[in-house]
């Protein structure tokens, strides 16, 4: 298999002198193979995401991007390749800025300038109206705001999108539309997603590979279909037992 886009290799992390939040975590994301990270609250999902984003350094082990350890001098190139979308579309957009400026943020950060053509292309790609760029966040619904956050994340054509509960703040109909949007962006833009989600239905829709995190350790990982159909670990069984009905794709044949 070719080099993963991003890889955690035996990563450990502790906050200050506290107990380990992550222990010996190894996880690789390959181009074209979306990965889901599931696990209950406090399992360490957000901590791992912060490490993968280069916001925090691991206490032990190494994070690699395209085969090379993620060091400070490599962060600029990394920022271009890896972007993130978070759960809450209300707090993640600055209310005082117009949408065009919000979406252009990664371009400015990379020193590429607020190219209006790229911004318009990103807004169109997420299905927002043409005049959206001139408006402010409060003029948009939760689902539309999440589209704006996704436009901001894809404007510099990243290879990988780290998505932390991207649809859990949305109502069911909107959730389905945003999941469909993410799936089509993967197909059309060579984009791969690392998804954190409590919603195993969303996981089954979007991700070929699933890793299960429990108390800072990966207790199970493999093809999503296999993990959901025949969970090998009691914790995964318990997670699955909490799901009323899985989508067709994950049902036993």
Ligand X SMILES: Nc1ncnc2c1ncn2[C@@H]1O[C@H](COP(=O)(O)OP(=O)(O)OP(=O)(O)O)[C@@H](O)[C@H]1O
For ligand X, the binding residues (CB under 6 A) are 15, 18, 21, 39, 41-47
Judged by beta carbon, residue 39 or residue 231, the one nearer ligand X is 39
Min separation Cβ 102 and ligand X, Å: 24
Half-sphere exposure of 142 (CA within 13 A, CB side): 14
Q: How many whole angstroms from its chain centre is CA 21?
A: 20
Min separation Cβ 189 and ligand X, Å: 27
Backbone angles phi, psi at 7, to 5 degrees: -150, 130
Min separation Cβ 146 and ligand X, Å: 18
Min separation Cβ 169 and ligand X, Å: 13
Judged by beta carbon, residue 39 or residue 89, the one nearer ligand X is 39
Backbone angles phi, psi at 248, to 5 degrees: -45, -50
3-state secondary structure 60-120: EEEEEECCEECCHHHHHHHHHHEEEECCCCCCCCCCCCCHHHHHHHHHHHCCCCCCHHHHH
Cα(137)–Cα(148) distance, rounded to whole angstroms? Answer: 9
Min separation Cβ 54 and ligand X, Å: 16
Min separation Cβ 24 and ligand X, Å: 15
Judged by beta carbon, residue 13 or residue 140, the one nearer ligand X is 13
DSSP bridge pairs for 185: none
- Pairing type for strands 35-38 and 209-214 reads parallel
Judged by beta carbon, residue 58 or residue 137, the one nearer ligand X is 58
Min separation Cβ 145 and ligand X, Å: 20
Judged by beta carbon, residue 21 or residue 227, the one nearer ligand X is 21
DSSP state of 136: -
DSSP state of 157: -
Judged by beta carbon, residue 46 or residue 97, the one nearer ligand X is 46
Please report, in angstroms and rounded to a whole number, the separation of the first and last CA atoms in the chain.
Answer: 28
**Cβ neighbours of residue 248 closer than 8 Å, sequence gap 6 or more:** none
Judged by beta carbon, residue 14 or residue 81, the one nearer ligand X is 14
Cα(227)–Cα(220) distance, rounded to whole angstroms? Answer: 8
């Amino acid at each position: 298999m070719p080099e993963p886009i991003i890889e955690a290799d035996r990563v450990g992390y502790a906050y200050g002198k506290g107990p380990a939040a992550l222990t010996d975590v190894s996880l690789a994301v390959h181009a074209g193979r979306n990965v889901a990270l599931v696990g209950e609250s406090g399992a360490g999902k957000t901590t791992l995401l912060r490490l993968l984003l280069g916001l925090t350094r691991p206490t032990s082990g190494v994070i690699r991007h395209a085969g090379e350890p993620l060091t400070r001098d490599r962060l600029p190139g990394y920022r271009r390749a890896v972007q993130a979308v978070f759960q809450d579309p209300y707090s993640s957009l600055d209310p005082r800025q117009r949408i065009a400026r919000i979406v252009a943020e990664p371009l400015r950060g990379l020193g590429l300038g607020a190219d209006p053509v790229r911004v318009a292309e990103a807004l169109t790609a997420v299905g927002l109206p043409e005049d959206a760029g001139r408006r402010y966040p409060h003029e948009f619904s939760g689902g539309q705001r999440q589209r704006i956050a996704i436009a901001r994340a894809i404007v510099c054509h990243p290879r990988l999108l780290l998505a932390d509960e991207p649809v859990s703040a949305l109502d069911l109909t909107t959730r389905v539309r945003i999941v469909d949007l993410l799936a089509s962006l993967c197909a059309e833009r060579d984009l791969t997603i690392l998804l954190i989600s409590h919603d195993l239905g969303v996981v089954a829709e979007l991700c070929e590979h699933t890793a299960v995190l429990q108390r800072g350790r990966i207790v199970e990982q493999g093809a999503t279909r296999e993990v959901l159909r025949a969970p090998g670990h009691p914790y995964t069984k318990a997670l699955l037992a909490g799901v009323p009905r899985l989508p067709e794709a994950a049902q036993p044949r």
